[in-house]
Amino acid sequence: MRILVTTPTGKIGSRILSNLLDSTHDLTVLARDPAKLTDAVRRRSSVVTGNLEDEKAVRLAVTGVDTAFLLVPPPGVTVTHWRAWIAAIGTTFAAAATSAGVSRIVLLSSTGAQHDDVGPVSGLGDVERLLSAAFANVTIVRAGYFMENLFGSLPTIASQGAFYGVSAPDTPYATVATSDIGDVAARWLADSTWTGHHIVGAHGPTALSPNETASVLSDVLGRPVQYVQIPAPALRDALLGAGLPALVANGYEDLFGGMARHLDAGDFSEEPFGAAHAGPTALRTFAERALRPALHAQVTAATV
């Protein structure tokens, strides 16, 4: 069986490959910059140079593939409509994979993708429906909020003892380490026996509210950390002030504003949630392993 992995140098794609390198399956990777691939991946894989916007490269990458992993990456600075761009990526991929006779698709999506008002996540919902209509065998991995996103809050944690968000402070939601997402996707990719359409969750052992997250961070980081709820437009303004493109800032305003509304309504998630879908990485473990050293390095650099 030949497996295609897109975005192979990212956190999730590289984790998938680390799971598959010792398997008996043949591997293909579609890489924007093959120089970033590890030597082990280059030796083990058929490497196609290009990205998911390059129709010719996508068609070459899916040739001879039995099972394909699709992860839609963040948009480039020239993209003018984030959701439409996501749909276009899905359309190009579906057309190429259909023509090549790909049997199974594993798509990385997100919690909340079933809703139409959560910005770019709604675009992933568009791709879910597109692929499910085009292929008999599709597994959709709906991931929770990436724990790695907390790296972006380290500057305000260091300077203000706070991190900011739009969701209500006491409403829990799923979080997950990207390594655990990669492990879930790799299991489905390596299994040549499943059929039909599946929606599976990828999340950590416990859903946490922002206030509970603040408590964990305070304990692990050794300093008081509080969560501050802000309105979605204030988040957009902060992102614009940090230099992010308007497309991204507006998209995150829509995403986190919609997420907060649906969390309040109790209908944000519909995928299975429980021990069978939980990865091993708790937020405390992630904070000890990754956030604490990163914060220490940041504080040390600021005092030099």
C-alpha 67/C-alpha 1 separation (Å) is: 8
In this structure, is residue 168 part of a structural domain? no
Each residue of 186-243: pLDDT tens digit?
Answer: 999 999 999 999 999 999 999 999 999 999 999 999 999 999 999 999 999 999 998 9
> Cβ distance 174 to 282 under 8 Å?
no
> Cβ distance 162 to 228 under 8 Å?
yes
Does residue 247 carry a pLDDT above 70? Answer: yes
Each residue of 14-47: pLDDT tens digit?
Answer: 999 999 999 999 999 999 999 999 999 999 999 9
CATH number (domain holding residue 8): 3.40.50.720
In this structure, is residue 163 part of a structural domain? no
pLDDT at 277: 67
C-alpha 232/C-alpha 58 separation (Å) is: 36
In this structure, is residue 49 part of a structural domain? yes
Question: H/E/C letters for each residue in 84-105?
Answer: HHHHHHHHHHHHHHHHHCCCEE
pLDDT at 145: 96
Give the domain range for residue 109: 2-144+177-202
The total number of structural domains that make up the chain: 1
Each residue of 69-93: pLDDT tens digit?
Answer: 999 998 887 888 999 999 999 999 9
Q: What is the pTM of this model?
A: 0.95
C-alpha 38/C-alpha 231 separation (Å) is: 42
Does residue 275 carry a pLDDT above 70? Answer: no
In this structure, is residue 89 part of a structural domain? yes
In this structure, is residue 103 part of a structural domain? yes
